[in-house]
């Protein structure tokens, strides 16, 4: 029955209270899901935080690694991977073993792909990679830590009569089989003998992305793909008509080859076009070998060893 007596007050809060509460809930949900600031990714110690667009997202979010005050006696760290990082690995091996007497770092250089596969099956503690991880590799629990940058150099033999540089477009055309004679570039009338690295090489992958724009290498008769990813044998085969590519650190001090300028720039130039990052890849951030080695590699001592590698 309806109560029409105006002297009887209604119980409970007025309707405006419910309206204000509803608006408050809607506003809070909007802030949390839409306007809430996102957490920043913190770079590991010793590595500068990447600027947008400069670090491939497939590097993953790495754990923080710090320099360990000591490691257990007899600690053994096993590394395999990129041939481009052989000198870097050797420098860090020497520094690590000096920092922690009684420790041993075993290094090999079977190529980035082989190193990553060895890590997946537990054959190594750390993989050296001159390319970012793929989405599939990340889904398998791998994380890549950028440790330094690197430049890819195109090289010819010292006795090659071609003394000019190349444009970025000409470099791509040579390795795609579209330019096959040195005369086309203003050199001698001779076939350009192209020496390509095998697909297991991280340098091969990086070259394809940086120089060929993700395209494929050519299959013309003047292009030879080497059976093994090794820089020294490739340099020895350049002769007077060959061209190949390698990480700049591997060829900077070679006396038998000459680096070809690209767009008028040599790899020492800050705006040299063919630049990339080098990575160490791990699977278990809590493994003592991973913590100790990456803690050293990313420390000021390790970065100094990297800076002097190959010098």
DSSP string, 223-268: EEE-SS--HHHHHHT-TTTEEEEEEHHHHTT-SSEEEPPBTTB-TT
Helices (H), the chain: 15-30, 86-99, 112-120, 135-139, 168-175, 202-210, 231-236, 248-251, 288-297, 300-308
**What was the pLDDT predicted at 41?**
29
Picking from 294, 276, 277, the residue whose alpha carbon sits closest to that of residue 285 is 294
C-alpha 31: how far from its chain's center?
Answer: 36
**What was the pLDDT predicted at 87?**
86
**What was the pLDDT predicted at 150?**
85
Picking from 83, 130, 166, the residue whose alpha carbon sits closest to that of residue 276 is 130
Alpha-carbon distance of 270 to 72, in angstroms, equals 41
Alpha-carbon distance of 55 to 122, in angstroms, equals 27
10-residue mean pLDDT profile of the chain (311 residues): values are 44 54 52 35 34 36 87 96 90 96 96 95 96 95 93 96 97 98 96 95 89 95 93 94 93 92 95 93 96 96 84 47
- Secondary structure element (H or E) that encloses residue 271, with its range: none
**What was the pLDDT predicted at 3?**
45
Domains of the chain: 64-150+278-308 (3.40.190.10), 151-275 (3.40.190.10)
Alpha-carbon distance of 107 to 81, in angstroms, equals 9
The phi and psi torsions of 115 (rounded to 5 degrees) equal: -65, -40
Alpha-carbon distance of 130 to 148, in angstroms, equals 10
Alpha-carbon distance of 95 to 98, in angstroms, equals 5
Torsion sign over Cα 233, 236, 242, 247: positive
**What was the pLDDT predicted at 57?**
36
292 CB-near residues (< 8 Å, 6+ apart) = 68, 71, 75, 77, 96, 100, 103
């Amino acid at each position: 029955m309806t109560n029409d007596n105006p002297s009887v007050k209604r119980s409970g809060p007025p309707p405006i209270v419910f309206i204000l509460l509803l608006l408050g809930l809607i506003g809070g949900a909007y802030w949390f899901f839409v306007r809430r600031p996102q957490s920043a990714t913190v770079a590991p110690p010793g590595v500068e935080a990447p600027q947008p667009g400069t670090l491939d997202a497939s590097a993953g979010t790495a754990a923080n690694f710090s320099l360990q005050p000591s490691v257990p006696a007899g600690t053994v760290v096993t590394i395999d991977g990129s041939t481009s990082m052989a000198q870097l690995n050797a420098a860090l091996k020497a520094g690590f073993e000096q920092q922690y007497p009684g420790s041993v770092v075993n290094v090999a250089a079977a190529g980035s792909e082989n190193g990553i596969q060895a890590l997946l099956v537990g054959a190594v503690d750390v993989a050296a990679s001159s390319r970012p991880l793929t989405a599939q590799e990340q889904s398998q629990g791998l994380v890549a830590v950028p440790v330094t940058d690197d430049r890819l150099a195109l090289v010819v033999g010292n006795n090659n009569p071609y003394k000019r540089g190349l444009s970025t477009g000409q470099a791509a055309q040579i390795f795609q089989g579209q330019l096959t004679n040195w005369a086309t570039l203003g050199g001698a009338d001779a076939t350009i003998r192209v020496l390509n690295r095998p697909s297991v090489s991280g340098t091969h992958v990086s070259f394809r992305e940086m120089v060929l724009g993700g395209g494929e290498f050519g299959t013309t008769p003047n292009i030879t793909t080497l059976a093994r990813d090794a820089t020294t044998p490739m340099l020895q085969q350049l002769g007077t008509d060959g061209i190949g590519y390698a990480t700049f650190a591997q060829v900077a001090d070679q006396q038998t080859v000459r680096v070809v300028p690209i767009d008028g720039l040599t790899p020492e130039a800050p705006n040299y076009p063919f630049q990339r990052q080098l990575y160490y890849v791990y699977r278990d951030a809590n493994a003592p070998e991973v913590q100790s080695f990456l803690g050293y590699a990313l420390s000021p001592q390790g970065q100094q060893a990297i800076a002097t590698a190959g010098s």
